[in-house]
Structure 1
Amino acid sequence: MTHGSADLSALLPADLPQRRLLRTPVPGPRSRALADRRSAAVAAGVASTLPVYVERAGGGVLVDVDGNSFIDLASGIAVTSVGNASPAVAAAVAAQATAFTHTCFMVAPYEGYVAVCEALGRLTPGDHAKRTVLVNSGAEAVENAVKIARRATGRDAVVVLDHAYHGRTNLTMAMTAKAMPYKTGFGPFAGEVYRVPASYPLREPAPLTGAEAAARATSVIEKQVGADRVACVVVEPVLGEGGFIVPAPGFLPALARWCAENGVLLVADEVQTGFARTGAMFACEHDGVVPDLVAMAKGIAGGLPLGAVTGRAELMDAVHAGGLGGTFGGNPLACAAALATIELYEQADLAAAARRIEERVVTRLRAVAVRAPQVAEVRGRGAMLAIELVRPGSLEPDAAEAARVARACAERGVLVLTCGTYGNVVRLLPPLVIPDALLDEGLDVLEEALLVGAPQAAPV
């Protein structure tokens, strides 16, 4: 199957046009009225990227309360990869809601939970025996992976990478690198978390191979922590909030070898990279790495809240009965959504669709970069792509430029996100089912935003 609107149209809502349409300025009057209501009711600490309020969404578009239709290049932060309001997912959820909405799997179990665990055991890398626990979110999945690693190894120390993002709970805030807005003012944080250098090819002080960058990281572990104290090393195969940083080839395999040689568990945080997003079902497959534990969420259930940890059976089963779980973990509606979503990934080969999106977007943006002096790098994998912006003629991060580009896109009906340790990265996470014409139009708007009003290189 080749990617395109004609090929994947069956996965889109039939009654929602896949088009960009602006009926009012952004935001429109109804969105402004809702913003006034929000300010009196919603905590100020909850921020939003798009200054409009969504009334409907489907496929690759978001429609706001004023009738404006935006091209969605965010997918709810890599969640609605099969398209928002996927007809198949919506039908599965509706059928389950008619049967029952909750029993708590720890009280009265049901088949949907078991079926999702079976599917994840089959899909995650490695042919070893596996077990799975279902939770509610990515942060909860990462936290449970750490609990399992500590219990299985009898060790306490957790190692994470610079530029990493792992969540907003107390433990995962400690594991996250970026202070503002995720950590500032929320401490003290959980202990026994240690940070080592990542592989960030654009910003290495001297060119390092992946193996050399891994050796740098493991040297820090051995000197500052001690390998025999480390329960796990937790890695995002592509660093997400840190800037969609793809490590140098060989970095992850070398890190995995060091873990195996030292009795340390390798935990892959595939919360953002998982489920076909990078052009493979899981991003660690690109490097031939088989983790001991995989933490998942986001794209797993087509928009419903669900997370999971899948790992080697002997590790997962090392936890005592009652040591894992939660009231809503593996909710039956979310399980029904996950099973329908996984079927779409496999039957429509959405990993291949992600690879075609990468080819289309990267080719286009690298051509734009030649004319945009503030673009330091276009990078990413599959449909997880980014543009790092700097002050022309340097590598000085330009967060203001990233914000300007995102704002200019929003004003013209295209949603993109920013990220990065320095706030200077524009990231693209289109739905894997987005029609080609809609994607191209979104790139037209992004190109214009990059080229019009951009900072100019200083004269030589």
Structure 2
Amino acid sequence: MSNKELQALKERYVAAGVASPNEQFADHATNAELWDADGNRMIDFAGGIGVLNIGHRHPKVVAAIKAQLDKLIHTCQTVMPYEGYVNLAQKLSEVAPVKGHAKVMLANSGAEALENAIKIARAATGRTNVICFDGAFHGRTFMTMAMNGKAAPYQTDFGPMPGTVYRAPYPVPYHGVSEDEAIRGLLMTMKADSPAKDTAAIVLETVLGEGGFYPAPTSFLKKLREICDENGILLILDEVQCGFGRTGKMFAVEHSDVEPDIMTVAKSMADGMPISAIIGTDKHMDASGPNSLGGTYTGNPAACAAALAVFDVFEEEDILGQSQRLGEKLNTRFTQWQEQFTHVDNVRCFGSMAAFEFVESKDNRKPMPDLAAAMTKKAKEKGLILLSCGMYGNSLRFLMPVTIEDEILEEGLAIVEECLKEVGA
């Protein structure tokens, strides 16, 4: 079917709240390129929002999924477990930098991982409250909507959010929030709203995703670890978007040597297959009673096979090295644009988790979200998929596969530069 025909069906049958504004429909893809239903080629700098760090349809992942489909598709692992779940749990427990011996629960999505992380933290501590941070994005279920640090569009129209979720400032010095101010804000939250005796967990994205691609400073993470240890609070790090090689390490927290009590991962964990994981210290993971955790599809056999294949690809193809080298290339080009264009500023490349933002001037730093929106629109017209982000919607984030071919990368960056000129950046 054509894009036009599919668009007509979408308008008739797909709920408006979930429907994409894009009137092109993906047909097939390879690595960093995809083609729509009309045969138009696009370069993908979005990666399904950070899901495709090793590219569309990596051959080893496709082969692993096909082999699994010939053996087993579903049993529900709580009814009849299977090898893939156990092997993936072992692999994740061995590589994740949590405190002590790790155990694992598999789930279906990042939001589901966060939901279960909170359940586990409450069971382990006997406390109810959760402290999160401004700018955070943790999901679209009710608990994770309450945890998000940005109301619109995620909480709009949906009524009251669950209680016992409190917020603290996230350190973004560029926008006026220093690390010291963020710590003071957290301590005030603990004094005014959520005392330590009632706080089960402090939950933080190691690098803000939707909130703007701002890494948490190492000193800030260490201070959070110290506060949690002093008060019997669990530190939960959300690595759903920044994990699996995006920052040049398997997990972003590895840049700091801080060990969380619990980590959540998803997105690029299985190169497009729906799976996530909660990885935590064994005594915390075992805190809740029998049959208290689970789900019908959690840890699906085909998704487990894909995730195990992703680990093989990381080892065989130096994905972490590729991520670091890609980040260096992006930083060089972004820095040139920052010098060349009046409204481009605050270039940041944490490995290949890269972004810059549009501001009225480099002096006043007033966000220009309309310019970011114009950029994504113009890029799409030129055959490039590009995403904005940030509390103010004024940042461009870059999530192309780290396996992107040099010539495709250069082609895409040339389109970005053309667009910068045409939108008056």
TM-score category by the smaller chain? over 0.9
1:250 to 209, 213, 219: 219
Q: Partners of 2:112 and 2:332 in 1: how far apart?
A: 37
How far the C-alpha of 1:69 sits from its partner, in A, is 1.4
Amino acid at match of 1:411: E
Q: Partners of 2:186 and 2:119 in 1: how far apart?
A: 23
Tell me, which stretches of 5 or more residues in structure 1 are unaligned?
1-28, 456-460
Q: Partners of 1:127 and 1:242 in 2: how far apart?
A: 27
Q: 2:424 maps to which residue?
A: 454
Q: 1:381 maps to which residue?
A: 350
Q: 2:77 maps to which residue?
A: 105
Q: What TM-score results when the alignment is normalised by the length of structure 2?
A: 0.97
Instruction: Tell me if 1:408 matches 2:362.
Output: no
Q: 1:202 maps to which residue?
A: 174
Q: 1:87 maps to which residue?
A: 59
Tell me, which stretches of 5 or more residues in structure 2 are unaligned?
none
Q: Partners of 1:204 and 1:281 in 2: how far apart?
A: 30
After TM superposition, the structure 1 stretch with the greater mean CA deviation from structure 2, 217-226 or 252-261, is 217-226
Q: Partners of 1:268 and 1:260 in 2: how far apart?
A: 15
How far the C-alpha of 1:451 sits from its partner, in A, is 2.2
Instruction: Tell me if 1:265 matches 2:234.
Output: yes
Cα displacement string for residues 99-124 of structure 1 (whole angstroms, at most 9, x for unaligned residues):
11100001011000000100100110
Amino acid at match of 1:166: H
Instruction: Tell me if 1:280 matches 2:252.
Output: no
How far the C-alpha of 1:452 sits from its partner, in A, is 2.1
Q: Partners of 2:409 and 2:214 in 1: how far apart?
A: 22
Query: Does the CA contact (< 8 Å) of 1:59 and 1:431 recur in 2?
Result: yes
User: Match of 2:132, SS?
Assistant: strand
Q: 2:413 maps to which residue?
A: 443
1:280-299 alignment runs, 5 A limit:
280-299=249-268
Q: Partners of 2:52 and 2:98 in 1: how far apart?
A: 26
Q: What TM-score results when the alignment is normalised by the length of structure 1?
A: 0.89
Q: 2:297 maps to which residue?
A: 328
Q: Partners of 1:235 and 1:263 in 2: how far apart?
A: 17
Q: 1:167 maps to which residue?
A: 139
User: Match of 2:340, SS?
Assistant: coil
How far the C-alpha of 1:39 sits from its partner, in A, is 0.6
RMSD of equivalent CA atoms: 1.5
Query: Does the CA contact (< 8 Å) of 1:306 and 1:329 recur in 2?
Result: yes
Q: Partners of 1:362 and 1:249 in 2: how far apart?
A: 21
1:37-436 alignment runs, 5 A limit:
37-48=9-20, 50-126=22-98, 128-204=100-176, 208=178, 210=179, 213-392=182-361, 394-436=364-406
How far the C-alpha of 1:212 sits from its partner, in A, is 5.4
Percent of pairs identical after alignment?
43
Q: Partners of 1:340 and 1:312 in 2: how far apart?
A: 25
Cα displacement string for residues 353-412 of structure 1 (whole angstroms, at most 9, x for unaligned residues):
111111000110111111211113111412211111122353222111101001111111
Q: Partners of 1:212 and 1:43 in 2: how far apart?
A: 42
Cα displacement string for residues 249-305 of structure 1 (whole angstroms, at most 9, x for unaligned residues):
411111111111111100010000111111110011111111000011101111100
Cα displacement string for residues 6-27 of structure 1 (whole angstroms, at most 9, x for unaligned residues):
xxxxxxxxxxxxxxxxxxxxxx
How far the C-alpha of 1:126 sits from its partner, in A, is 4.2
Q: Partners of 1:364 and 1:373 in 2: how far apart?
A: 15
Equivalent residue pairs, number:
424
Q: Partners of 2:369 and 2:86 in 1: how far apart?
A: 45
After TM superposition, the structure 1 stretch with the greater mean CA deviation from structure 2, 39-48 or 214-223, is 214-223
Q: Partners of 1:180 and 1:219 in 2: how far apart?
A: 25
Amino acid at match of 1:327: T
Amino acid at match of 1:192: T
Q: 1:21 maps to which residue?
A: none
Amino acid at match of 1:38: K
Cα displacement string for residues 54-78 of structure 1 (whole angstroms, at most 9, x for unaligned residues):
1101111111112221111111111
